[in-house]
């Protein structure tokens, strides 16, 4: 173990300690409304390299920069009228915009993987906002899980995956949204990753349909690798009922026999919030009972259902044999 990971409370003293660790180039996990992030100073190449090391993440993946205000965002990225209008409407919140990088902003190359663009987001979680204000700088923060594993929606999940590998964890409870932010490219407009902000809301704001961008074979970013978010157990999608020896995750009122139901009323927002915690629980149950597969009910493909289905397709994808690919 490199570190005794400090468990920090989300009060003034805990946040001051977290900010001091970050300023010293250490890594601190913090809650956002989507998932827990693994934060490091985006201007400090050693800190950012440490993020990749702690996660075991392949190096070609650019990271999202988190800021506490639109003014701060404009120091690192070039905003046009569309980007400003979207920021005014959806920030703070689960939207990440990919914008031209300001070369003089001080964001290090490891964050952008050398691209001329930067992914930037202003999170809504009060603890994330308080930490960004206390740190007073840009935080690079991927989800705080070992690469290829399920994203964390509680401090306990972060401890399970990264304890001993990072300096601190700020415990801010359970993440309300439960899936990562929606990533939007603007030139040309495209959804690079469906997420916690529904595509339909962005299409309505921009006034045009948004194509799905990105290529799983040639990812310009990690969340696009097919086998990302994989539990240890195999996953079967669009199941109408579980087979013997399958763990069953249901959705909606028709799944009355499911011990785990993502939303008994069929509410996609509730289902997104439960998704990663239920996948972990099902994985653990499979491990404990010798079940060979997790069967998951069909999820409608609109609103947050798009983000849920994106994550489930990755969870069900064949796993790469080469551990350097997507883990």
On whether the CB atoms of residues 309 and 229 are closer than 8 A, the answer is no
Binding range to ligand TXA, per CB under 6 A, among 32-40, 156-164, 290-298, 311-319 = 32-40
Using CA atoms, how far residue 97 sits from 64, 141, 154, 307, in Å, is 9, 14, 25, 16
181 binds ligand TXA (CB under 6 A): yes
Q: How many residues bind ligand TXA (CB under 6 A)?
A: 30
Strand bridging mode 260-261 / 28-31:
unpaired
Residue closest to ligand TXA (Cβ): 221
- The nearer residue to ligand TXA, 118 or 249, going by C-beta atoms, is 118
Give the nearest distance from C-beta 76 to ligand TXA in angstroms: 12
User: Which residue from 26, 74, 171, 180 is in contact with ligand TXA, where contact means CB under 6 A?
Assistant: 180
User: Which residue from 29, 224, 233, 261 is in contact with ligand TXA, where contact means CB under 6 A?
Assistant: 224
Reference 140, options 41, 272, 283; nearest CA is 41
* Gap between the Cα atoms of 326 and 308, Å rounded: 19
Binding range to ligand TXA, per CB under 6 A, among 179-187, 201-209, 244-252, 274-282 = 179-187
Q: Which does 117 bind (CB under 5 to 8 A by kind): Mg ion, ligand TXA, none?
A: ligand TXA
- The nearer residue to ligand TXA, 30 or 251, going by C-beta atoms, is 30
Distance from CA of residue 179 to its chain's centroid?
Answer: 6
142 binds ligand TXA (CB under 6 A): yes
Neighbour count for residue 114 (Cβ, 10 Å)? 9
User: Which residue from 29, 143, 261, 263 is in contact with Mg ion, where contact means CB under 5 A?
Assistant: 143
On whether the CB atoms of residues 108 and 79 are closer than 8 A, the answer is no
User: Strand order of the sheet with strand 36-41?
Assistant: 6-8, 168-170, 28-31, 36-41, 139-140, 64-66, 117-121, 95-100, 182-186, 189-193
Residues forming contacts to ligand TXA in the complex (CB under 6 A) are 32, 34-35, 37, 61-64, 96, 98, 112, 115, 117-119, 121, 123, 141-143, 180-181, 183, 192-193, 220-224
């Amino acid at each position: 173990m490199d570190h005794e990971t400090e468990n920090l409370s989300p009060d003034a003293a805990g946040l001051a300690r977290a900010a001091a660790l970050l300023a010293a180039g250490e890594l601190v996990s913090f809650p956002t409304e989507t998932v827990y992030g693994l934060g490091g100073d985006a201007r400090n190449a050693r800190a950012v390299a440490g993020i990749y090391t702690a996660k075991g993440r392949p190096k070609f993946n650019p990271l999202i920069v988190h800021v506490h205000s639109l003014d701060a965002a404009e120091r690192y990225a070039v905003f046009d009228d569309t980007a400003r209008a979207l920021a005014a409407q959806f920030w703070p919140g689960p939207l990440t915009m990919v914008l031209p990088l300001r070369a003089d902003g001080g964001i290090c190359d490891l964050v952008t993987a050398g691209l001329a663009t930067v992914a930037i987001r202003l999170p809504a979680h009060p603890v994330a906002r308080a930490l960004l204000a206390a740190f007073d700088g840009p935080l690079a923060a991927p989800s705080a899980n070992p690469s290829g594993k399920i994203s964390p929606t509680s401090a306990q999940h972060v401890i399970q995956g990264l304890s001993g590998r990072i300096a601190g964890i700020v415990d801010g409870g359970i993440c309300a949204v439960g899936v990562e932010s929606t990533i939007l490219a603007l030139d040309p407009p495209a959804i690079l990753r469906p997420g916690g902000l529904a595509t339909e809301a962005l299409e309505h704001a921009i006034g045009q349909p948004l194509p799905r961008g990105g290529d799983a074979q040639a990812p310009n970013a990690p969340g696009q690798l097919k086998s990302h978010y994989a539990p240890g157990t195999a996953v079967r999608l669009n199941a109408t009922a579980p087979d013997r020896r399958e763990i069953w995750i249901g959705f909606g009122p028709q799944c009355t026999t499911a011990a785990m139901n993502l939303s008994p009323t069929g509410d996609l927002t509730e289902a997104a919030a439960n998704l990663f915690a239920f996948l972990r629980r099902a994985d653990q149950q499979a491990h404990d009972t010798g079940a060979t597969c997790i069967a998951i009910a069909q999820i409608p493909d609109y609103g947050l259902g798009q983000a849920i289905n994106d994550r489930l397709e990755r969870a069900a994808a064949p796993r790469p044999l080469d551990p350097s690919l997507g883990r």
